[in-house]
Structure 1
Amino acid sequence: VVVVGAGLSGLWAAHELRKRTNLSVLVLEGRERVGGRLESVNPGTADAFDLGGHWVGSNQYHILAALKELGKETYKQYTTGTKILDMDGRVRPYESSLPNLPLIQEANFALFALLAEHSLKAIPRDAPYNYSRAAHFDGMTLDSFCSAFPWMKETRELVVAATQTIFAKSPAELSALQFLHYAACAGGLNPLLDASPGGGQEFKVRGGTQAIPMAAAQGVDVRFNTTVVGIRAAGAGGEVVVQALDGRRFVARRVV
């Protein structure tokens, strides 16, 4: 079996395949490291600093089970003290779990959240495309979805900042359905941004989140600097050929 990509999903797939079967598993990765969107650095502080995904929450049962299996520890996100919101060239300190806004802006955001919550509550978590308006929301970006709302400038900027924090993308780079389904799986909009119990930012991973794919990669054959550019069926025998950018070819029975 060839697995394309040594991010968390690819390496966990390889980890599970090796654990449950006698298959020969090979992971192909275009970069020189594992982790994909999880990357941690060690700047000489008490713990590693995450450049990609940072947190896990107590309601994220699958990743918590994976951490337990891999022997990785978590600790609560430190939230005491002053936080900083840098938005539109203005730096605003705040003490609460979420940024404080003037009352009229809070009302503006609360109205948007109310409308979004109404939509996301109707989305089946395990089958988002069964939602009656799935095609409609998947056919527009989150940016387009937001454009239909009467925003105040500062509130719209806060939503953009929140989207970049959660998805590492701008609202123009993901569909409205992806955003709503993700929020539905989290239990609503607030848990995505909250570090209180049950929130999406409740815990940090000791050693950094990249420690998860690094642990999953133990014993797995990972080929770095191997960018996959093509996958094709080789014929009636059921084999699949995976083509790399440098000309190498890998033949497998299955590709993930």
Structure 2
Amino acid sequence: MITFEGRFSGRAAIVTGGASGLGRDVAARIIAEGGQVSLWDVNAEALEAARQETGAAHSRAIDVSDHAAVAHAAAETVAALGRIDVLVCSAGITGATAAVQDYPIDSWLRVFDINVNGLFYCCRALVPHMVEAGYGRIVNVASVAGKEGNPNASAYSASKAAVIGFTKSLGKELADKGVVANTLTPATFDSPILEQLPASQVDYMRSKIPMGRLGNVEESAAMVCFMASEECSFTTAATFDTSGGRTTF
């Protein structure tokens, strides 16, 4: 991992889904580059392990689909770190793999509760702190599925399209307030979330990538950390691809 010494010096970040995968790698990199991080994740055991391994300053076991819990955790984290400059919303689930006519209602609702509603609750709770400070970076993790749609993944694809649209709206709202909001749209990369999918679905997604391979988490973490840094100062309401050539718009 190539790091940029001091890039996040004096900055404090919240990373949801921070116990594993992309969230954990982003958190580790922000810490390595001088920032403080609060890890949020629903898996308390994995969260504690990630906190120790990354050296995170704070952690909170939380289900982001609970809006009251998010509001409480936001206030607690601001008090613990003294400020919040960066919010990375990486928490997400894939849901069932099934055709629309067979798609389980409970899985559809849970996907939207985590991937869309939970992300909205986090942004809603933290934006006021950033606006008051006159500085902020918000990175919402979507997917190329939100642009192109994957068969037998209607809930996931639709939820990630919602994340893209939501972030475009948010970025425009905040454009004159010193706060930028952008979306990452990665193609499939090797991470624990793939354990939620059958091998046939992973093979399908790999087949759509012109580079012929899955991404790796470090590639997407590097992009997120640029988006979360002071360097990303004139781009907002935008999407950044890490897709191996799958998406070109």
TM beyond 0.5: no
Between Structure 1 and Structure 2, the one with more helix by share is 2
TM-score by length of 2: 0.21
Normalization by structure 1: what TM-score? 0.21
Which is greater in Rg?
1
Say which structure, 1 or 2, has more relative contact order (CA 8 Å, 6+ apart). Answer: 1
